[in-house]
Amino acid sequence: MSRHYLQPIAFASSPQAEEGETLRLAGGMVHASRFALLRREAGRVVSRERYSVPELRAALPALPDDARRQWDNLQRSHAPLQLGTRTLRLDQPQVMGILNVTPDSFSDGGEFLDRPDVASAHAAAMLEAGAAIVDIGGESTRPNAPAVWEGDELNRVIPIVERVAAMGAAISIDTRRPAVMEAAIAAGAHLFNDVSALRHDPRSLGFAAASGVPVVLMHAPGEGEDLHANAAYADVVLDVFDWLAERRDAAIAAGIAREKIVLDPGIGFGKSLADNLALLNALPLFHALGQPLLVGASRKRLIGALSGEAPANQRLGGSIALAMKAMDAGVQVLRVHDVPETVQALRVWRGLRDAALTDFVHLPA
């Protein structure tokens, strides 16, 4: 059986740069001008054809059904997510600030565990700096992290969720356990961010559907406690694409509304340096799934691997570079540790995009 993938491969600063012959990706601020249509059989790419936008439009009637669906998905605009009283627009990048309440996070090393005043002050600072969402988690998912008892996770995150909810913030709960999801929603959370894509507990899909809460489904190859296990790919980009499509479809079949599903390729989870770089370079392809995208590459191991083994707290430059890469790909949500710096980068990026839209070239009559 053949599968097809419609990948944006060239971009324009604005539609007028290509005299209107571009596609606006996902209703956002990124414009694609050329595409590659890949055909895959038995896990292997067997053909690659390139098209401009006019050429692709002309070819569409003869293309396979999955390619036509992906063309529609690439230009699908996403309605805002309603998170409590907050509205999260998805026509431009948004920043999700990370608040880990764990003893063994790879980045903050337990800075906020058992220190609710410090944790809530950090959340307030991220919100003031421009974070649209605060993502609160009580379990480290770094490689070889020990399992966390559900009761400990609840004790860590629920008091912080309550404090941050009192600020009027939009809150994501980073968990893979339905009991934590349920308690967090009752405490004021608005979004489930599940690194297991609702696979860790068989009750998760049904609970998420019944709650009506938006969900983030992240790719990770492992199925049990170790999310990094079983990492074997024929082609990491296309394998992750297919996996996310299957999880999206499973979520919809379980009763989760399509417009409430966000997808995350899972940078750093069961992936080598080469795998991560391939995924980051191919991010525009993932709009062909027809869902908003979240990318969390902040301070991750790949930055250290490319920068003389810089420790996690010295990876700001690399984190900003990867955030800009995600913005250039049209990613809607950036999950980051360094909120003020990322928001500043985003505002400069947005200014450049806005200027390009009005930067007409006037030819002589």
Tell me the residue length of the chain: 365
- CA distance between the termini of the chain: 54
Note if 300 is an active site residue: yes
Q: For residues 29 and 36, what is the distance between their CA atoms, to the nearest angstrom?
A: 21
Residue 283 per-residue DSSP state: G
Q: For residues 341 and 338, what is the distance between their CA atoms, to the nearest angstrom?
A: 6
**How many CB atoms within 10 Å of residue 179?**
15
Residues 93 and 292: beta-carbon distance below 8 Å: no
Among 300, 301, 315, 353, which one carries the catalytic annotation? 300
Phi, psi (degrees; rounded to nearest 5) at 82: -95, 115
The encoded tokens of residue 11 equal 């971009």
Q: For residues 289 and 218, what is the distance between their CA atoms, to the nearest angstrom?
A: 13
The encoded tokens of residue 225 equal 């406690």
| Residue ranges in the chain assigned as alpha helix (H) | 53-59, 65-74, 116-129, 150-165, 178-187, 204-211, 236-253, 273-281, 301-305, 316-328, 339-357
List, in order, residues 6 or more apart from 352 with CB less than 8 Å away: none
Among 176, 271, 301, 335, which one carries the catalytic annotation? 335
Q: For residues 187 and 171, what is the distance between their CA atoms, to the nearest angstrom?
A: 10
**Tokens 């710096």 -> residue:** 341
At CA 92, angle to CA 348 and CA 125, rounded to 5? 65
Note if 335 is an active site residue: yes
Check residue 143 and give left, alpha or beta (phi > 0: left; psi -120 to 50: alpha): beta
CA nearest to 188, candidates 213, 156, 209, 207: 213
CA nearest to 241, candidates 198, 201, 204, 278: 278
CA distances from 75 to 34, 70, 72 (A): 14, 9, 6
Catalytic residue annotation: 300, 335
